[in-house]
Structure 1
Amino acid sequence: MHVLEKQHEPADVAAVALKAYARVVDGWGLTQREAAFLADMSESTWKRAKKPGFSGELTKDQMLRLSAVIGIYKSLELYFSGKIAGSWMTRPNSGPLFSGRRPVDTAIEGGLPQILHIRTYLDALRGGA
C-alpha cells in the first residue's frame, strides 16, 4: 500500500509564496513599485496579490522570482547580522555584480537571471566558495 502525498493546489502554493515575499520586501523597506517590479507585476497587481484571498495566478517566472528572493533573504539572514541583512539589498554595492548600484535595482533591471545570480553570489559567500 502506497501513501500518497497531498497535492498542493497552485493557488495555495502561490498564497504562501506571496505572503513570504511580502514579509521579505517589507523587511527590506522596498517601495510598492520596487516590490511589484521585482516580482514582475504591475503595481496594481501587486497591491491585489499581497492581500489575503488573492485568486489570481502567478506565472512560472513570477514563482521562480518569489522563491529566489526568499532564498536571497534567507542567505542574507544567515550570512550577515540583522541590520546589515535588512539593508543589504538597498545599499550601493561595489561587488562584481553591482558596479556601485543597489542590488535591488540590478535585480529589477536584470530580471530573473540577475536575481538568480545574486542568490548564487550570496550562497557562494556563505559557503566560502
Structure 2
Amino acid sequence: MAQLIRIDTAAPPFAPAPITDAEAAAMFRAALNLFRLWGVTDDQAAMLLDLPRRTFARWKAGAIGRIGRDGKARLSNLMGIHKALRLVFRDPSRGYAWIKAQNDAFAGRSALDVMLGGELTDLMRVRRYLDAERGW
C-alpha cells in the first residue's frame, strides 16, 4: 500500500535582496529626472534625500558618493511613488502635478509638503497612500 508523504507547501519568508551601490546610483540619476519633472528645487531635493546641500550638488554633478542604507530606502520610496503615480494617472503630467497639489488625505497639504518633513517615514507615508489608492 502506498504511503502519503507530507510536502511542505509554506512559502519561505520574503527577504528582499539589498540594493546594490550600482542600483542606488542608477536610482539617484532617475530621481534627478523625477525632481525636474516634479519641479523640485535643489534644496528640496537635498531635503528629500537627507543630504547636505553641498553633497547633493556634488552628486548631481556626477560625483556620486557612497549611498547608505537610509539613502537607498529614500530612493526606493521615491521610485515607488513615481511608479504608483504612473499607475494611478494615465497622463504622466497629472501625476507630476499631483505632487504639489493640496490633498485632503494630508490635511490640505501636498504630498511634497509631507515628504519635506525630512523623515524617511514621510516618504513612506506618501508611498503607502498611493499604493492604497491604486489598490495594491
TM-score normalised to the size of structure 1? 0.82
Among 77, 85, 97, the residue aligned to 1:87 = 97
Match in the other structure for 1:46: 56
Count of aligned pairs? 118
**Which residue does 2:7 correspond to in 1?**
none
Q: Secondary structure at the match of 2:66?
A: coil
Q: Distance in 2 between matches of 1:67 and 1:14?
A: 8
Aligned to 2:30: 20
- CA offsets per residue over residues 78-126 of structure 1, 9 Å max, x none? 111222101111122111xx11112112112151112112111101111
Cα shift readout 1:27-79 (whole Å, capped 9, x = no counterpart) = 1010111111001111111111123342x111211110011011101110111
Q: Secondary structure in 2 aligned to 1:90?
A: coil
Say whether 1:74 aligns with 2:74.
no
Is the contact between residue 89 and residue 103 of structure 1 (CA under 8 Å) also seen in structure 2?
yes
Q: Is the 8 A contact 2:35 2:45 kept in 1?
A: yes
Whole-angstrom CA distance in 2 between matches of 1:76 and 1:10: 25
Tell me which residue corresponds to 1:123: 131
Report the secondary structure of 1:61's partner residue.
Answer: helix
State the match for 1:3 in structure 2.
none
Give ranges in structure 1 of 5+ residues lacking alignment: 1-8
Percent identity between matched residues is 33
After TM superposition, which residue ranges in structure 1, 4 or more long, deviate above 6 angstroms?
A: none
Between Structure 1 and Structure 2, the one with more helix by share is 1
